[in-house]
Amino acid sequence: DDVRGLDQVTEHVVNLVKNHPAMLAYYVSDENSLEEYPAVRALRERISRIDPWHPTVTLTCVENLFESCAKTGDILSWDYYPVRTSPPARQTFDYKGFRRTIDVLIPHWFTAQAMQWLRDRDKGARSPELPELRAMCYAALIYNSKGVMFYSYPYVLALMDISPDEGQKLWANVCCVAKELNCLSDWVLSLETAPAVKIISQTPGAGTSEIVARAFRAKGKSLVLIVSNGPGLVSATLQL
């Protein structure tokens, strides 16, 4: 079609996909540097002029850039991949980034780790186990994420060629958590006021594990999500 240059290519692609029934959003940045944000913002504005009916998603892995990154899109996504080589019995994750997304004041979609770090493969790198993947995604919902994306590099089919057992297990875990999240969508997206949840106590000697919880309410029914950032079993007393 002799379409050349970023502006013309952007307009051409947006016009190709904007009316497709499966179109959800435009992904405009991926861990860009702060210096690149003016160009990302210009891209976002061009897309929105052509198609104001679909949002743009902008992504960073740097918590200190949340506010700056949020100015380049309609939805902020934070990618967080804490699982590397630690065995499940020692693996944990941090809530700090989840908490910071609340301060950005635009919608947040969490990008979850659905991969193993290939550069650490010779050191025993692994992908998240099902409870780890579930816990991180549920933590995102507790801290007001309204969507979840899963990232894999290489993509899952390629991982199946590299390591069939690992690839099959990872895909099964992603499918399982995705189905669970879909079942929770009525509560997560509800505008009904839910009761506050207070954690009265948690298991003494739980080490670095911390329990977080939140209630959701939809169609007159309440649902409570409870997450521990692991590892190991913990218990807590909650009050609604």
Bridge partners (DSSP) of residue 79 are: 111
pLDDT at 157: 77
User: Where is average pLDDT lowest: 40-44, 82-86, 117-121?
Assistant: 117-121
Q: Write down the pTM of the prediction.
A: 0.93
The Cα–Cα gap between 163 and 3 comes to 40
Q: Which residue has the tokens 């099964």?
A: 172
What letters, b where the CB count within 10 A reaches 16 and e where it falls short, cover 112-131? bbbbbbeeeeeeebbbbbee
The rounded percent of the chain whose pLDDT value lies above 90 is: 76
Q: Are strands 211-218 and 221-228 parallel, antiparallel or unpaired?
A: antiparallel
Once rounded to an integer, what is the mean pLDDT over residues 2-14? 91
* Two structure tokens written together for 73: 């899109």
pLDDT at 207: 60
pLDDT at 162: 76
Residue 204 confidence (pLDDT) above 80: no
pLDDT tens digits along 11-67:
999 999 999 999 999 999 999 999 999 999 999 999 999 999 999 999 999 999 999
Which DSSP string do the residues of 24-74 spell out, in sequence order? --EEEEES--GGGHHHHHHHHHHHHHH-TTS-EEEEES-GGGHHHHHTT-S
Q: Which residue has the tokens 């079993």?
A: 233
